[in-house]
Amino acid sequence: MHLATLVVLTGLVVGVYLTTRRKPPSLPLPPGPKPLPLIGNIHQAPKSHGWRTYQQWSKEYGPIVHVNMLGQHVIILSSTEVAHEILAKTGAAFSDRPRLFLATELALKGLNILMMNYTPQFRQHQRLHASVLNTTPAASYLPLQTLESRQLLHDLLNHASNPAGTDVQKYFQRTIASIIHTLLYGFRIADPEDPMLGELSRFNHEFSKFVQVGAHIVDMFPVLNNLPSFLAPWKEKAERHFQDKYALRRENFRRALEGETWNIAKHLKSLVQSDKIDMPMDELAFELGTIIDAALDGTADSLMWFVVACVTQDPEGTGFIARAREEIETVVGRERMPAPEDRGNLPYVSAIVEEVLRWRPVGPEGVPHLNKEEAAYNGYSIPANSVIVPNAWTISREESIFGPDADSFIPERWLVDADPTSDPDNDPQPKAQHKTLNKAMLTSVAGFGYGRRTCPGRHFARNVIWIVIAQLLWAFEIRPGIDEETGERIPVDPLACTYGLVMRSLPFKASFRPRGEWVRDALGGGDTFGVDLEGMLERIGAEVGKI
């Protein structure tokens, strides 16, 4: 046996033995499936779609579950209250990330804010993200988001109206990628077949696999990285991932700085230099790309789950689609498309957005946290350096909040009666049945994370998801594809999805038939690539510069 291999394997055995002989905590651990000696619960670890297993464990053991993975304590949280108490109210104590060696150190070289520990470096990155993604700057991007939504409608009108249906994922990905590239670098993406979109999709797919807790033996035993490359194939994969990703981000950053239009890359470079932030330009270039990752994974995938909801939960268009359309017809009419200014008067559309985010949280297992010190909760010990999993899938189905029908797509669950002191007869903007969003329920949306690790792009995401959904409902009859031989609808599995950090719907076909000629009239017949992009970006830059 190769000497290095023998040394590593010996260290592995000793490491497992020592980690399983740690001093027991002062309080009992949370309940969970019974572990085996030495290996703990590793034999029960889900091989895919862990959120299904976690949901079952929560039914058996309650909202806080403990499992032991080869000596590593893993705590799974499955209720809104527990997640907020442990992750949001404890400050920095639960704000670190577990050491996912493959993802964090090999594939990302410690440069991705999502996987950083709660350190000064993280807070610098967080500050930059907040400066361009908080509520106020996010509002300044609405004109661009509306423009790209209009382009999406144009693309669907011309390429997805066939009753047989079309796999439309590439059109939604182009839309979101174009918005974020325009903001970050100053250029739009016109072609859904652009090779860069394929590269971005590959990066996100690989990263989603790299970041899975418990999926890679090198995460539990980093000493294995000392093995020769032929025994450690993950090293080459991770290095290729980093080099390819870094090359693309560095080139786009260069292109942005040399361009004539305002863009976020220029804005943040200026902020780093003027505020003397300790961040090399190569690090800033890489970090900008993480915003693209999050937008494509979170926003584009949420929009695809909306389409899945349409074709599986309301294929006739007589349920939630009809109710939303009635609201839109009342408030907006047919002479123009819904706009961001209509949002306050379209509560049912807003309820659909929240229901999409709840029904299919794109990160169903959440992004894991790690606690620095031993803590206690409700009479249980949470040992130091435990991996804390916010089980977003089960939290999004909590019966006490969302009712017993949480697997169904029911936007009405988000609505309550509007303020009874208001006079609807004097309301110049009619609201459907004078309902409003139940704002108290919004804190139960698990998909954006908790505490100091809450997603900084949530305002950007909610804004564009709202615009696109409102305009799709206004413009199209969204139906399942039709089998051309049988004339029957092509079935779509509402749970068919990829496995990894992100829950992405598997390919399916849907038809987007325009509701009338007035849709073509409102779209103007042409695409949107002749607009004054430089002027739009200068106006956005002026607004962001005021913050």
pLDDT tens, residue by residue, 146-199 = 999 999 999 999 999 999 999 999 999 999 999 999 999 999 999 999 999 999
Closest listed residue to residue 179, CA positions, set 336, 261, 291: 291
Gap between the Cα atoms of 291 and 105, Å rounded: 19
3-state secondary structure 451-494: HHHCCCCHHHHHHHHHHHHHHHHHHEEEEECECCCCCCECCCCC
Find all residues with CB under 8 Å of 397, minimum gap 6, and list them. Answer: 55, 406, 407
Reported confidence tier of residue 12, pLDDT bands at 50, 70, 90: very low
CB 246 within 8 A of CB 238: no
Give mean pLDDT, residues 450-459.
94
Query: pLDDT tens digit string along 353-376?
Result: 999 999 999 999 999 999 999 999
Bridge partner residues of 370 (DSSP): 96, 387
Q: Above 60 in pLDDT, residue 240? A: yes
Q: What is the pLDDT of residue 23?
A: 54
Q: Above 60 in pLDDT, residue 519? A: yes
6's tokens: 């023998």
Gap between the Cα atoms of 7 and 274, Å rounded: 50
Give the lowest-confidence range in 10-14, 220-224, 312-316.
Answer: 10-14
CATH number of 111's domain: 1.10.630.10
Q: Which is more confidently placed, 437 or 427?
A: 437
DSSP annotation of 425 reads G
497's tokens: 């999805």
Distance of CA 478 to the CA centre of its chain: 24
Gap between the Cα atoms of 466 and 136, Å rounded: 17
Give the lowest-confidence range in 15-29, 54-68, 247-261, 285-299.
Answer: 15-29
Distance of CA 499 to the CA centre of its chain: 14
Find all residues with CB under 8 Å of 35, minimum gap 6, and list them. Answer: 41, 67, 68
Query: pLDDT tens digit string along 43-90?
Result: 999 988 999 999 999 999 999 999 999 899 999 999 999 999 999 998
DSSP annotation of 74 reads E
Give mean pLDDT, residues 406-435.
73
Q: What is the pLDDT of residue 394?
A: 97
Query: pLDDT tens digit string along 105-141?
Result: 999 999 999 999 999 999 999 999 999 999 999 999 9
Closest listed residue to residue 150, CA positions, set 521, 533, 472, 532: 472
Number of domains comprising the chain: 1
DSSP string across 330-383: HHT-SSS---GGGGGG-HHHHHHHHHHHHHS-SSTT-PPEE-SS-EEETTEEE-
Q: What is the pLDDT of residue 434?
A: 77
Give mean pLDDT, residues 430-435.
61
Gap between the Cα atoms of 485 and 345, Å rounded: 44
Give mean pLDDT, residues 279-302.
94
Closest listed residue to residue 108, CA positions, set 257, 215, 279, 237: 237
Reported confidence tier of residue 500, pLDDT bands at 50, 70, 90: confident
Q: What is the pLDDT of residue 5?
A: 36
Find all residues with CB under 8 Å of 437, minimum gap 6, and list them. Answer: 347, 350, 351, 354, 414, 415, 416
Phi-psi category of residue 239: left, alpha or beta, with phi > 0 → left and psi -120 to 50 → alpha: alpha
CB 480 within 8 A of CB 311: yes
Quote the mean pLDDT of the chain.
91
Print the domain residue range for 133.
2-545
Helix (H, G, I), strand (E, B) or coil at 450: coil
pTM to 2 decimal places: 0.92
Give mean pLDDT, residues 268-293.
95
Find all residues with CB under 8 Å of 290, minimum gap 6, and list them. Answer: 112, 113, 114
Q: What is the pLDDT of residue 10?
A: 36
Reported confidence tier of residue 424, pLDDT bands at 50, 70, 90: very low
CB 217 within 8 A of CB 224: yes
Q: What is the pLDDT of residue 328?
A: 98
Q: Flag whether 455 is marked binding.
A: yes
Q: How large a percentage of the chain has pLDDT more than 90?
A: 83
Gap between the Cα atoms of 467 and 299, Å rounded: 12
CB 145 within 8 A of CB 179: yes
Gap between the Cα atoms of 527 and 524, Å rounded: 8
Q: Above 90 in pLDDT, residue 431? A: no
Strands 387-390 and 72-77: parallel
Gap between the Cα atoms of 290 and 204, Å rounded: 10
Q: What is the pLDDT of residue 444?
A: 82
Location of structure tokens 């074709």:
311
